[in-house]
Amino acid sequence: MDTPIPILLISLLLSSLPLFSISSPHDTLPTSSSLSIPNLLTSPNGVFTAGFHSVGKNAYCFSIWFTVPTSDGSLTVVWTANRDQPVNGELSKLSLLKSGDLILTDADQFTVWSTNTNSISPLELKLLDTGNLVLKNPSGTIIWQSFDSPTDTILPNQPMTRTAKLVSSRSQTNISTGFYSFFFDDDNVLRLLFDGPEISSVYWPDPWKNSWQAGRTTYNSSRRAAFNLSGYFISSDKLLFKASEFGL
């Protein structure tokens, strides 16, 4: 008759766990705190979740994904901090330092990724309803945002800019950097490039056509594109198409 004691101990342990890990989801990481497995951030509307996502045996990436998995149970990841350098499951953490830097450290404390930001005032990290992860100061100024450095996806409200570059995943099951990229080229035109181990070539728009033959313009140097509220992708180089599916 020695079982009642361990059971009592377990229930005591459970009831003394910090609210952080068992309460309703939250969207903010305050200054001088950190996030580690299994803690998550969830946008107020519940659509997006940020946290450590398993990419292999004891290998994790800090990512943002749609909270609801697809019908086959897989997660639709929309942004990743460390796609080429997964971290350990134990002891890895995302920390918002007092200095204003947001860093991702591996089990051995090695910094795998950081926002390289600093601030005198305390910052907070917040996952917004749009899926944008933002570092804000007390007056609401955005110091850093995930929307500025897309991985392989842009979301509605997320502009494609002159510095943004979407790079495909290696494969359906491997989210590390792949060979296909989408970006504004030096002549202001959005292009797709295959950059493989042996060959590198632009394949869209058709490289045998000039820009106007391809329905584009090189004259607008603003280099900006985005989905509008009806699901049209509208670009400063005159590329226009409608998303085949739009809305949730």
Ligand X SMILES: *[C@@H]1O[C@H](CO)[C@@H](O)[C@H](O)[C@H]1NC(C)=O
Contact set with ligand X (CB under 6 A): 55-56, 170, 174, 176, 220, 222, 224, 228-230, 232, 234, 236
Q: Measured from the CB atom, is 76 or 174 closer to ligand X?
A: 174
Identify which of residues 125 and 214 has a Cβ nearer to ligand X in the complex. 214
Smallest distance, ligand X to C-beta of residue 219, A: 7
Q: Three-state SS string across the chain, please? A: CCCHHHHHHHHHHHHCCCHHHHCCCCCEECCCEEECCCCCEECCCCCEEEEEEEEECCEEEEEEEECCCCCCCCCCEEEECCCCCCECCCCCEEEECCCCCEEEECCCCCEEEECCCCCCCCCEEEECCCCCEEEECCCCCEEEEHHHCCCCCCCCCCCECCCCEEEEEEECCEEEEEEEEEEECCCCCEEEEEECCCCEEEEECCCCCCCCCCCCCCCCCCCCEEECCCCEEEECCCCEEECCCCCC
Query: Please, what is the minimum distance in Å from the beta carbon of residue 151 to ligand X?
Result: 14
Q: Which is nearer to ligand X, 136 or 223 (CB)?
A: 223
Residue closer to ligand X by CB (options 25, 156) is 156
C-beta of 121: minimal distance to ligand X in Å?
A: 33
Task: Compare residues 25 and 178 and give the one whose CB is closer to ligand X.
Answer: 178
CB of 148 to ligand X, least distance (A): 16
Report the nearest approach of ligand X to the CB of residue 2 (Å).
44
